[in-house]
Amino acid sequence: FQVTQDMLNPMLNLCPGAQSLSYIGGGSGNGENAMLATPATKNVYVAPMSRPLKVGATTTCPASAQGVVVGLDGLSIVRRNGTTVNCNTAAYSNTITLSDGSSYTFKDFRDVLRVVYGGFDHSSEATIASCFTGEPGRSVIGTQNCNSIVRQSIVNNWGNLFQDSTCAAGETCTALKHAFRRGDQSGTTDAFLTLLGLPKIGRIQPSPTTDKPFCNGNDLDDKDPIRRSCTGTGAGTSGGEQVCQAREAAAMAYPASNTTPLGPPSTPWEPAVNNTGDLGVVLDINVPEGVASAISHNVNTCNFGAFDLVHMPSSFQLAGTRCPNGTPQVLLKCLYPKDLAGNYGCLNSSVNVPTIGELKKIDGRVYNLYLRQGNNPDDNIVKDKNNVLMTGSFYRLHETKVMPGGGVPCTWTDSTAQIGCLVQASPCSIGFAGREAADDPTIGNNDVRSLALGSADGTTTVLPTDAAVQQLLSTAEVYPTCTAGGPLSTRYPLARRLFLNSIVGFNSASVPNDQFALYQCEADRTKMDQAIDLEHFIKLPQPAGLSVATCSVATSAADKALCASPVVSQPCL
């Protein structure tokens, strides 16, 4: 998104012919769907993507389809820098003891990530070959079980996440607090699932889907069966977390007669401890694009004791649907806190609750999951640019307060940066995001690191350095053999290419002039490399015979010709 915005920015003037374009982002899936629109409604003919085209499971890749690789990225598994060097490599080959006394041996680094994020282990397999040729994905996975003994034993024992068995001895963390992830339509998520061999996500939310590779469910869901009690009150000296669910909310996400996600609990809830709740291990961090930061990160404090009835959207008005605090709706309305100016988008603490009856027991942070704005009591829940109601704003976890031992609060408008920030605000958490989450020194006071991962051949560990990611272009992505050594031991395994794609082809007469200009600029590395550098991505390797240091400063016609990214025909998965 930011790279494309840089190309269109008049101040940078990298691509004057494309500056009339308006680009709102939305992920690779949305870009491809826009290119597949019917002729009467289609206005998108080229799309920036972080993967090749898929074009639909049953659709043949069009002969006209073209793509240009414009840069590279390494997906990072990030955490706070930490106090020891022993917790900086994700587990990839060690054996752990499970809670029932049995053992589990990791097959590669993907194994621990698939279990943590998706509940997929290999326990159901009789045997696993010593080397799989199916890179990426590598080893076959079993049936999803997000509450399995394997998953419990990993997420409840911090040291089991890491390769070095002495990790837990040097850290204060005893268990994994949260595993943050990007949203369903993010190209980063698509790449993460592909590179780990996990099932793909189904239709764009909020449509129901049968493919739910993550233990929390889809965007804005919190259905992870392994729960974590919310820390602190979200205010004052206790700090802690600033969004929370009703306790055991994962079991109450649907009315009995309806399978459509609704958000609020559907059955009465009685908390075990007053003003406390919980969250799942896996949380979707989805900062709403297209929403002003003054709204998405409204940190105005809710006025203590000030509550009023507000309308709920029509999708929340089905029989049996309850308010965020677990109580029945009153004439299709719910009680909500507001600030001194009467605005409902404020940040609430756990103890600021209505003063009547059972409502005094709820955790007031449930209201922060519903992103609201303004003082109009009618349907004021914010929607993102995909028209999805923001009823699961887990990204607000540390807006002004952090966990004990945490660093700085997090109010980034970019989801990747927000995940990078959150892992240092919540030091016993991990996340996956683009490499810039750890590489940008302005995120989290530069207190974020990428974990090293086991190499493709399992002989060593690799960090997402420029050189290690660039090995993706010198080795096949699906390996015919698993011979140790060479590129297999030096390539970072969570690497991806960045594309500009077109289903009709860049030179098609139907491509508007400004979109054709964008293609010309992005294929010209004397321009594109500047944007790649600005946004902390990785430039393509320098072409042989270049007479200057980098493509971004090439001046001669010969050097510029070398710096043209070649067009690839039919760039489809």
Q: Is 341 helix (H, G, I), strand (E, B) or coil?
A: coil
C-beta neighbour count of 180 within 10 angstroms:
28
Say what the pLDDT of residue 460 is: 87
What angle do the packed helices 513-522 and 525-534 form, to 10 degrees?
80
- Segment holding 558, helix H or strand E: helix 557-562
CB 567 within 8 A of CB 506: yes
Say what the pLDDT of residue 506 is: 96
Say what the pLDDT of residue 123 is: 64
Q: What is the pLDDT of residues 180-207, one digit of tens each?
A: 999 987 878 878 887 887 887 754 433 4
Bridge partners (DSSP) listed for residue 77: 432
Give mean pLDDT, residues 517-539: 92
Say what the pLDDT of residue 258 is: 35
Q: Omega of the bond prior to 377 within 30 degrees of 0, cis?
A: no
Q: Which parts of 437-541 are beta strand (E)?
A: 448-450, 453-454, 461-462, 495-502
Residue of 498 and 200 predicted with greater confidence: 498
Say what the pLDDT of residue 396 is: 98
Give mean pLDDT, residues 101-121: 92
Task: Evaluate the CA torsion angle 5, 6, 10, 13 in order and state its sign.
Answer: negative
Task: Evaluate the CA torsion angle 309, 310, 311, 315 in order and state its sign.
Answer: negative
What is the per-residue DSSP string for 61-130?
PPTT-EEEEEEEEEEEEEEE--S-STTSBB-SS-EEE-TTS-EEE--SHHHHHHHHHH---STT-S---S
Give mean pLDDT, residues 134-159: 80
Q: Which two tokens stand for residue 447?
A: 């207190």
Which residue type does 104 have? Y
- Nearest alpha-carbon partner for 189 in 201, 203, 171, 177: 201
CB 240 within 8 A of CB 234: yes
Question: For residue 273, what pLDDT band results from cuts at 50, 70 and 90?
Answer: low
Q: Which of 138-147, 220-229, 441-450 has the lowest mean pLDDT?
A: 138-147
Say what the pLDDT of residue 133 is: 41
Which residue type does 216 have? N
Residue 263 has pLDDT above 80, yes or no: no
The pLDDT > 70 percentage for the chain reads 83
**CA separation (Å) from 459 to 30, 135, 213, 487, 489?**
38, 16, 29, 12, 6
Say what the pLDDT of residue 260 is: 39
What is the per-residue DSSP string for 131-155?
S-S-TTT-S------TT-HHHHHHH
Q: Which residues of 106-131 are buried (b: 16+ CB within 10 A; e: fewer)?
A: bbbbbbbbbbbbbbbbbbeeeeeeeb
Question: For residue 59, what pLDDT band results from cuts at 50, 70 and 90?
Answer: low
Give mean pLDDT, residues 304-322: 76
Say what the pLDDT of residue 264 is: 38
Give mean pLDDT, residues 260-267: 38
Residue 561 has pLDDT above 80, yes or no: yes
Task: Please report how many Cα atoms fall inside a 13 Å half-sphere around the Cα of residue 379, on the Cβ side.
Answer: 7
Say what the pLDDT of residue 126 is: 40
What angle is formed at CA 505 by the lines to CA 58 and CA 477, rounded to 5 degrees? 60
Interatomic CA distance for residues 412 and 507, integer angstroms: 38
- Nearest alpha-carbon partner for 235 in 287, 303, 179: 303
Give mean pLDDT, residues 220-242: 91
Give mean pLDDT, residues 403-421: 95
Q: Which of 73-77, 174-178, 350-354, 359-363 has the lowest mean pLDDT?
A: 359-363
* Count, residues in the chain: 573
Say what the pLDDT of residue 317 is: 58
Helices (H) and strands (E) in the chain, counts: 13, 19
C-beta neighbour count of 416 within 10 angstroms:
27
Q: Which residues of 505-534 are buried (b: 16+ CB within 10 A; e: fewer)?
A: bbeeeebeeebbbbbebbbbbbbbbbbbbe
Give mean pLDDT, residues 95-108: 90
Task: Evaluate the CA torsion angle 142, 146, 148, 150 in order and state its sign.
Answer: positive
Interatomic CA distance for residues 349 and 304, integer angstroms: 9
Q: Which two tokens stand for residue 439?
A: 């590489």
Say what the pLDDT of residue 534 is: 87
Say what the pLDDT of residue 179 is: 98
Q: Which of 305-319, 381-395, 423-437 has the lowest mean pLDDT?
A: 305-319
Q: Which of 83-92, 350-359, 379-388, 541-550 has the lowest mean pLDDT?
A: 350-359
Residue of 317 and 371 predicted with greater confidence: 371
Say what the pLDDT of residue 210 is: 52
**Residue 487 CA from chain centroid, whole number:** 28
Say what the pLDDT of residue 550 is: 86
- Segment holding 240, helix H or strand E: strand 239-240
Q: What are phi and psi of 228, to 5 degrees?
A: -130, 125
CB 300 within 8 A of CB 373: no
Residue 485 has pLDDT above 70, yes or no: no
The listed range with the strongest mean pLDDT (99-113, 138-152, 257-271, 411-425) is: 411-425
Say what the pLDDT of residue 531 is: 94
Say what the pLDDT of residue 56 is: 64
Residue 268 has pLDDT above 50, yes or no: no
Task: Please report how many Cα atoms fall inside a 13 Å half-sphere around the Cα of residue 569, on the Cβ side.
Answer: 3
The listed range with the strongest mean pLDDT (2-6, 166-170, 426-430, 460-464) is: 426-430
Q: Which of 279-288, 349-358, 413-422, 522-531 has the lowest mean pLDDT?
A: 349-358
- Segment holding 239, helix H or strand E: strand 239-240
Interatomic CA distance for residues 166 and 169, integer angstroms: 6
Give mean pLDDT, residues 116-129: 70
Helices in 328-472 by DSSP H: which ranges? 415-425, 436-439, 466-470
Q: What is the pLDDT of residues 385-404, one digit of tens each?
A: 778 889 899 999 999 999 99
Q: Is 347 helix (H, G, I), strand (E, B) or coil?
A: strand
Say what the pLDDT of residue 530 is: 94
Q: What is the pLDDT of residues 333-382, one digit of tens each?
A: 888 999 999 999 999 999 998 877 556 677 899 999 999 999 988 878 89
Give mean pLDDT, residues 16-37: 87
Interatomic CA distance for residues 35 and 159, integer angstroms: 46
- Nearest alpha-carbon partner for 219 in 388, 56, 339: 388
Q: Is 479 helix (H, G, I), strand (E, B) or coil?
A: coil
Give mean pLDDT, residues 536-559: 87
Give mean pLDDT, residues 30-46: 88
Rounded to 5, what percent of the chain is helix, strand, coil? 25, 15, 60
The pLDDT > 90 percentage for the chain reads 47
Q: What mean pLDDT value characterizes the chain? A: 83
Bridge partners (DSSP) listed for residue 495: 74
For the chain, the distance separating the N- and C-terminal CA atoms, rounded to the nearest angstrom, is 22
Give mean pLDDT, residues 150-156: 95
